[in-house]
Amino acid sequence: MRFNRRHLLGLAGAMAAGSASAQPAWPRQAVRIIVPAAGGGSSDPLARYGAQEFQRRFGQPFVIENRPGASGNVGMTAAARAPADGHTLLFGWAGPLATNLALYPNLTFNTQRDFDPIVRFGAVPNTLVVGKNSPITSMRQFVEQARANPGTISFGSTGNGSSMHLAGAMLAAATGTQLTHVPYSSPAAATTDVIAGRVDAMFLGAPGTVPLARGGEIRVLAVLAETRSAVLPDVPTTAELGYPNVVMGTWFGWLAPKGTPRPIIMALNGAVNDLLAGAGREWLMQQGLEIANGAAGGTPEEMDRFLGQEIERHANLVHTANIRVD
């Protein structure tokens, strides 16, 4: 008998369920999900959507715990030090999981050493946005203004080494301009200042961009991708606009402290894969999440290989763009 991927996932779930007699009952209590950022960013609705599915499936509360600080390092450290009993999970993304390893030489955690990967949860492109009252109406005008007035165009980000910071550094390098980076402690604070015009621009992730654009609070100048976004179909890409190397986004994933029992890892993996294949698929895509072509789902081993590749890639990005901790 031949097994396809769905059969294998089902078999893994059955094995996890079958081993219940040998494992302590799980979850025995509320499960906390550490999100290493303040609320209001692209990660929050995605983490909460996953939490709702886990709660429905496993019958205990799954509670989001936002732990901002040090570009995500505070939350990452807290998750790494938590007991590996399945009652603490981590919802992370490229910045704290990969980029920070190249930016901060004395971290108290290492992504692959201190965490067990569960599953990938999709990817999103960054977008270049300005406030609704900004005089800048196109990416071409944005670049022209930056060239004519070196250092006077500012962009907000969620911290050093975030995908927003890397995106700004990449665009500045590609256009020969000087942009002023303004790091914030939370995405909500950064977007508030962009909307109010206190900061000129932001390289916001698509899930955060879509509702603000639909509400008329921001103007979207470009999607930093090779192909257009399904949720922003009228917005040109940087590749279309003549900057094929200015492509930046982030990806998301579920992890647990190292040593979390394998049956728990596989139960969570199965829940996410089922969500991605079922009713959750459409909602996630409407948020701007790319979940096809291997961007989401799969096995823990596939995510582990992906993490290794991304850690190396982001180290190269940090070096090439000469990113420093401000």
Residue in 98, 90, 99 with CA at minimum distance from that of residue 121: 90
Which strand (E) or helix (H) includes residue 208? helix 206-214
Q: Which amino acid is at 62?
A: F
Supply the CATH number for residue 184's domain.
3.40.190.10
Using one digit for the tens of pLDDT, what is the confidence trace for 155-173? 999 887 788 998 999 899 9
Tokens for 312? 């190396």
Count Cα atoms within 13 angstroms, Cβ side, for 188.
8
pLDDT of amino acid 159: 81
Distance from C-alpha of 53 to C-alpha of 10, rounded to nearest angstrom: 17
pLDDT of amino acid 87: 98
CB atoms within 10 A of CB 60: 15
pLDDT at 10 > cutoff 50: no
**Residue 209 buriedness (CB in 10 A; 0-12 / 13-18 / 19+):** buried
Distance from C-alpha of 104 to C-alpha of 324, rounded to nearest angstrom: 9
DSSP track, 228-264:
-BTTBTTSPBTTTTT-TT---EEEEEEEEETT--HHH
pLDDT of amino acid 224: 96
Q: How confident is the model at residue 110 (pLDDT cuts 50, 70, 90)?
A: very high
Angle, helix 262-277 to helix 43-58, in steps of 10 degrees? 110
The answer to whether the predicted template modeling score (pTM) of the entire model surpasses 0.85 is no
Supply the CATH number for residue 264's domain.
3.40.190.150
- Answer yes or no: do 58 and 138 share one domain: no
pLDDT at 320 > cutoff 90: no
- Answer yes or no: do 278 and 202 share one domain: no
- Answer yes or no: do 178 and 288 share one domain: no
Tokens for 137? 């109406």
Q: Which domain holds residue 177?
A: 125-223
- Answer yes or no: do 157 and 14 share one domain: no
pLDDT of amino acid 308: 96
